[in-house]
Amino acid sequence: MSVREKNNVVVAGSADRPTVLLAHGFGCDQNMWRLVTPILARRFRVVLFDHVGSGRSDVSAWSAERYGDLHAYAEDIVDICAELKLRDVVLVGHSVAATIAVLAANRAPEWFAKLVLVTPSPRYIDEGDYRGGFSHADIEELLDALEANYLGWSASMAPVIMGNPDRPELGAELTESFCRMDPDIAQVFARATFLSDNRADLRQVSAPTLILETAQDPIAPREVGRFVRDQIAGSELVTLDATGHCPQLSAPELTASAIEAFADQSSMSR
């Protein structure tokens, strides 16, 4: 099958404009970018896709052996760039896809002009002086609950992750997104997400990088944003006037504006 079919690749905007490639996080699909896409498409060629096992990707391409590691998702991003013959890509990754974006850029830096890491976390588990926001016991409890009752876990956790209790429709949307994912696939992706440690990969990033965090994030505390900034040479950390882990839904205009401004800082040609 083609990469377009495997990852349900969708393109918006004019082909003669700089390219922004949007990568979604765990339990989501490209629909999570729907509020920022039309804003970005006014000035950029926007490429969206679904990770294998998510959304309308070809689930037959998924296997626990291959996708038990975040590197496989990074390889898929590089394959998308190769098949579409993209150049000078601004790669935007949300949540765990921020780490996947780092891995992709380190694997094939020639494809990527810039990185935008939206609410990233290279390691969710606290270790020594590093604060990821969770103890090892917290994560094991989270994974046990997910594996015991994925739909129940989704209904309880998604509103927490979204972090905007005054806007319950946002939590409901994330819950629905989680519940669309096959529980067996979700279990494997969750372990790859929450047990990974990609802190060392940050120091290898050579592309100009923007880190977007929110003022209050229940999944990636502010200490994580500062850590990522300190590890990626020359990177810029911006705190959005927003709350929760998914600012592309809770504050789409702010998120799109920050991406647009960073992508426009220097001219790029395809």
88 noted as active-site residue: no
- Helix/strand/coil (H/E/C) assignment for every residue in 32-74: HHCCCHHHHCCCCEEEECCCCCCCCCCHHHCCCCCCCCHHHHH
Work out the average pLDDT over 93-121. Answer: 98
At residue 162, the pLDDT reads 96
> In this structure, are residues 94 and 120 in contact, taking their beta carbons and an 8 Å threshold?
no
Q: Which two tokens stand for residue 195?
A: 């047990």
Active-site residue (options: 51, 177, 217, 250): 217
Q: Has residue 190 got a pLDDT over 80?
A: yes
Q: Which two tokens stand for residue 234?
A: 């020359």
Work out the average pLDDT over 93-99. Answer: 98
At residue 268, the pLDDT reads 41
Q: Which residues 6+ apart lie within 8 Å of 244 measured at CB?
A: 161, 162, 163, 164, 170, 214, 216, 217, 218, 250
Active-site residue (options: 54, 57, 95, 121): 95
95 noted as active-site residue: yes
At residue 265, the pLDDT reads 78
β-partners of residue 177 are none
At residue 266, the pLDDT reads 58
Q: How confident is the model over 124-145, as pLDDT tens digits?
A: 999 999 999 999 999 999 999 9
* Amino acid identity for residue 82 in this structure: A
Active-site residue (options: 24, 154, 245, 250): 245
196 noted as active-site residue: no
